[in-house]
Amino acid sequence: MKHEDLRVERVLAFSRLLLALTSLAVWLIHPAGVATHYRVGLFLLLAYAVASLVLLMQLQMGGEPSAKFVLAAQVNDVGWPALLCLFAEASNSVFFVLFLFAMIAAAFRWGFVETMATAIISVALLLFQAIMVAHGPLVLRHPLFASIQPARLLMRCGFVLMAGCLLGFLAESEKELRAEIALTNRLLHLARIGNRFAVALQNILCELAQVFQGGPVFEVVAQSSTGRAFRWEVLPSSAHPTAQVQEIPPADKDSEMMWDYPHTFFMKRENGDSKTSITALDEEGRRLDPAQVRHLEMPVPGTESVLVVSHEMGRDWCGRFVLMNAKLGRDREHELRFVQNVMQQVAPALYSVYLFQGFRSRVGVTERARVARELHDTAIQSLISIEMQVDVLRRRASGDSRLASELERIQELLRHEVLNLRELMQTMRPVDIGPHQLLDFIAELVERFSRDTGVAVRFISELQEVTLPAATCRELARVVQESLVNIRKHSGAQSAVVRFGTQDGLWKLVINDDGNGFPFAGRFTLKELDGLRRGPAVIKERVRAVGGDMVIESTPGHGSRLEITIPQKGYEAYG
């Protein structure tokens, strides 16, 4: 942005110098005043040219223009025409055109308000000059011309105001277009292919919340093919904002998706009252009649204002961007159209990130499944064959106790590596289960682990069926897998219990073992474990992915207890 300001000031500086030299040439050819004022006008034009040259040199030598420099340049652009008009024939003065350059400069630098203010100041100076000529003190009237033609003066004042209005409008439109392009480019950069979908959506929501000075912010999306709906929510004011996704229950889907509300709207409570004002647009960006939306109530309770923009992501997904406590200017309709246009361009890019992540995930699953098959068909079978041969050699070497002992140690190492490879293979294989297969999958997993390792593990389920989302079921299955691996590798436990059930509106998974415990004592929540940088990192990441919480209770030398809870409304794991 600073580079753009420097470029604008340089263009204006070159134009100002060219205009000053042109005015000087015109004065030399045809002075716009009587002979007694020729030298005064010539001096003023020379000073104007020198001042323009000084401003240009300051820009060339000083780098980025400061706010004081810009203000001084604008005062310069308005002040010199006012002085020149004093010593030129007021009714025919061509130097009022220099006011037009001042308005063009304001339009380049700022917008409508500043350009109109420059036009009004210019008109005020012209009128002040006329009043001084007609009715001012003789001391001031003496060096000025007394011939004032009101009709021409009014026409020129009207021209200046008209030019200021048009230039200001064009400048405001161009500034808004540049702002829209800049914001869209920033959001498209955040939604570039390769980012995780959750991270891309989180960054975009935070950026939009910052632009419109609001928060919290969330995105609700519905999938037409499955009828499911999800809500991604971010709190931008937090130190480390993260997007949390929650599946919307079918009973709440209509209210969360706001099907009865317009495509794009801004609703605000008036002076803390229960009454609200609403500005709404349809999908084409046309303003809706206030009478059509006056009956609508605040869709998000407990908020002062809400900005909602609908958008589509592919043919299967439709969504709404919702920003609470947003701040819009006086021209709400224009700002709504602005954010509507931005979302229309960003939503397809965000959908591309979602599709790319899905494709990459499928490719990764396929490749891991291939490697798992290779491990089972080659490495594991070979190790089992070697282990059996070593067992035969150990039995034949029963007369040599040292050799038999060494072969037994090698055999144990081979068994250990076979277990490691089997666990790795199970981890790499895709877990394609849903709520109907979760309990059977965990029971089979526990039984196989107990058979392979000799650790007495039991699975106790308090439920006959589960209604968790499929992605959450997969994450819980992975948590059980990772916990059992940790028990075998690190705990030295002889027995363990895996229990699944519900309590106080929460799904609850508990894993107890009688092993060595963690290298710390006490009871710690997920947040406390993060602060202490302790606990199983993989399990913590999976618990966060499903919006759950975790508690670890450890007694070194006497076992540990892992307790995971997930809200029964169900969080979905994405990205």
Q: Domain with 283 in it: what CATH number?
A: 3.30.450.40
Q: Are 105 and 232 within one domain? A: no
Helix ranges restricted to H, 191-286: 197-211, 253-257
For the ranges 1-10, 159-168, 246-255, 260-269, the lowest mean pLDDT is seen at 1-10
pLDDT digits (tens, 9 = 90+) for 509-551: 999 999 888 888 888 888 888 888 888 888 888 888 787 889 9
In a domain, 504, yes or no: yes
pTM for this predicted structure: 0.58
Residue 500: predicted pLDDT: 93
Please indicate, yes or no, whether residues 140 and 202 belong to a single structural domain of this protein.
Answer: no
Query: The domain that contains 479 carries what CATH number?
Result: 3.30.565.10
Q: Which two tokens stand for residue 158?
A: 């009207």
Angstrom distance (rounded) from CA 399 to CA 21: 114
Domain shared by 144 and 206, yes or no: no
Q: How far are the Cα atoms of 35, 84, 342, 444, 529 from residue 40, in angstroms, in the given order?
A: 10, 9, 55, 103, 82
| Mean pLDDT, the chain, whole residue set | 81
Whether residue 154 is contained in a domain is answered as yes
What are the b/e assignments for 317-355, b being 16+ CB within 10 Å? bbbbbbbbbbebeeebbebbbbbbbbbbbbbebbbbbbe
* Confidence at residue 458, expressed as pLDDT on a 0 to 100 scale: 92
Tell me the per-residue pLDDT of 268-312, one tens digit each, with 9 for 90 and over. 887 766 688 899 999 898 999 888 888 888 888 888 889 999 988
Structure-token pair, residue 125 = 């100076």
- Look up the domain containing 312 and give its range: 198-360
Is it the case that residue 62 has pLDDT exceeding 80?
no
Q: Does 366 fall in a domain? A: no
Is 250 found in the same domain as 343? yes
Question: Is the domain of 169 the same as that of 97?
Answer: yes
Residue 372 resides in a domain: no
- Is residue 462 within 8 Å of 439, Cβ to Cβ? no
Of 343, 360, 377, which closes a domain? Answer: 360
Whether residues 6 and 97 fall in one domain: yes
Residues present in the chain in total:
575
Q: Is residue 386 part of a domain?
A: no
Tell whether 129 is covered by a domain.
Answer: yes
- Residues 345-384: pLDDT tens digits? 888 888 888 878 777 766 666 666 666 666 666 776 777 7
Which of 131, 164, 186 is a domain's end point?
Answer: 186
Domain boundary at 360, 389, 412, which?
360
The CA distance from 446 to 183, in Å, is: 52
The structural domain count of the chain equals: 3
Q: 319 and 310 in contact (C-beta within 8 Å)? A: yes
- Cα–Cα distances in Å, from 361 out to 354, 368, 536, 575? 11, 10, 24, 10
Residue 383 lies in a domain: no
Q: What is the pLDDT of residues 127-146, one digit of tens each?
A: 877 777 677 666 555 555 44
Q: Is the pLDDT of residue 109 over 80?
A: yes
Q: Are residues 24 and 118 in the same domain?
A: yes
**Which pLDDT value is given to residue 575?**
40
Task: Specify whether 482 is located in the same domain as 543.
Answer: yes
Average pLDDT over every residue of 458-464: 89
The verdict on 552 and 458 lying in the same domain is: yes
210 and 182 share one domain? no
Q: Which of 33-47, 63-77, 464-478 has the lowest mean pLDDT?
A: 33-47
Question: Which residue's structure tokens are 């997920």?
Answer: 526
Same-domain pairing of 546 and 569: yes
Domain shared by 28 and 153, yes or no: yes
> Quick check: is 482 in a domain?
yes
